């Protein structure tokens, strides 16, 4: 939101990221992929002037788009509730529409983070699940995710398979953000292969075949957990299940 030195520093980091991504692609180790961006501000600061700050972020992202185009790269805005102006599904769509660079600036859908959009954690007015929602009623969750994905799927250029237990994490001055769960966490609220299809298929249930690759997002785990072979066996099992349900052969 800083139109002066802050914007210049942000754009320089975008330029560095695009340059590295371009080099990796030239080396053949990165045939596909995006460069992730966010608004670099919290919902609280953004809320001081919602419309004005949204316009400033959009202007910054449009300048970032020029840099990405010069490197033949795409920028994916991370849909996470801790980023001001991106902290709800409606605000995220609004920002992408203001940027209006659909070939260059799109949306990064992470299943764990976007689940928090349905709860309106940092934007109660945009909540999709009812207050006191009973997680034992999967039809209500499916309806909420249909609304969410219908709005954001057209913008989605990067997709993260993930799990979430519908709790949030925040430390220090950091705004609430999604808490990832392990793939087999019994408290996980997502049916991973089923709900992945809401992003990978259109409203008629047809594969979009739009995304070139998917990945697992499992941040916030201790190193000891990540060093266990079973952790990765469980992750790969879920990703294979998503591929089997929604993949295609070219």
In a domain, 69, yes or no: no
In a domain, 14, yes or no: no
pTM here is 0.93
In a domain, 106, yes or no: yes
In a domain, 141, yes or no: yes
The partner residues of 177 in beta bridges, in order of sequence, read 169
Q: Tell me which residue range forms the domain holding 239.
A: 40-57+74-246
Write out the two tokens for 81: 């509730």
In a domain, 66, yes or no: no
In a domain, 170, yes or no: yes
Q: Tell me, letter by letter, the H, E, C secondary structure of the chain.
A: CCCCHHHHHHHHHHHHHHHHHHHHHHHCCCCCCCEEECCCCCHHHHCCCHHHHHHHHHHHHHHHHHHHHHCCCCEEEECCCCCCCCCCHHHHHHHHHHHCCCCCEEEEEEHHHHHHHHHCCCCHHHCCCCCCCCCCCHHHHHHHHHHHHHHHHHHEEEEEECEEEEEEECCCCCCCEEEEECCCCCCCCCCHHHHHHHHHECCCCCECCCCCCCEECCCCCCHHHHCCHHHHHHHHHHHHHHHHHHCCCC
Task: Quote the pLDDT of residue 218.
Answer: 66
In a domain, 62, yes or no: no
Strand order of the β-sheet with 215-216 is 35-37, 75-78, 105-110, 156-161, 215-216
Residue 144, judged by CB atoms within 10 A of its CB (0-12, 13-18, 19+), counts as buried
Say how many domains are in the chain: 1
In a domain, 182, yes or no: yes
* pLDDT tens sequence for the chain (250 residues): 899 999 999 999 999 999 999 999 999 999 888 999 999 999 999 999 999 999 999 999 999 999 999 999 999 999 999 999 999 999 999 999 999 999 999 999 999 999 999 999 889 999 999 999 999 999 999 999 999 999 999 999 999 999 999 987 665 444 567 678 899 999 999 999 999 999 999 999 999 999 988 888 766 788 899 999 999 999 999 999 999 999 988 6
Task: Quote the pLDDT of residue 171.
Answer: 52
């Amino acid at each position: 939101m800083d139109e002066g030195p802050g914007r210049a520093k942000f754009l320089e980091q975008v330029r560095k990221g695009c340059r590295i991504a371009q080099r990796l692609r030239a080396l053949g180790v990165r045939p596909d992929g995006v460069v992730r961006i966010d608004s670099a501000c919290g919902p609280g600061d953004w809320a001081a002037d919602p419309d004005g700050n949204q316009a400033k972020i959009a202007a910054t992202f449009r300048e970032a788009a020029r840099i990405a185009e010069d490197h033949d790269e795409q920028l994916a805005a991370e849909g996470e509730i801790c980023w001001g102006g991106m902290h709800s599904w409606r605000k995220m769509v609004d920002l992408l529409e203001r940027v209006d660079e659909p070939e260059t600036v799109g949306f990064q859908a992470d299943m764990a983070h976007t689940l928090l959009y349905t709860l309106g954690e940092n934007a109660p007015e945009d909540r999709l699940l009812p207050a006191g929602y009973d997680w034992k009623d999967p039809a209500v969750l499916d309806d909420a995710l249909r609304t969410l994905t219908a709005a954001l799927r057209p913008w989605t250029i990067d997709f993260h398979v993930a799990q979430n237990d519908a709790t949030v994490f925040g430390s220090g001055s950091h705004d609430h953000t999604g808490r990832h769960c392990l793939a087999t966490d019994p408290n996980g609220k997502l049916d991973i292969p089923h709900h992945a299809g809401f992003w990978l298929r259109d409203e008629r249930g047809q594969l979009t075949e739009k995304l070139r690759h998917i990945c697992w997002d499992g941040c916030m785990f201790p190193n000891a957990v990540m060093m266990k072979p079973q952790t990765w066996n469980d992750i790969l099992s879920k990703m294979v299940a998503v591929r089997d349900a929604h993949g295609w052969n070219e």
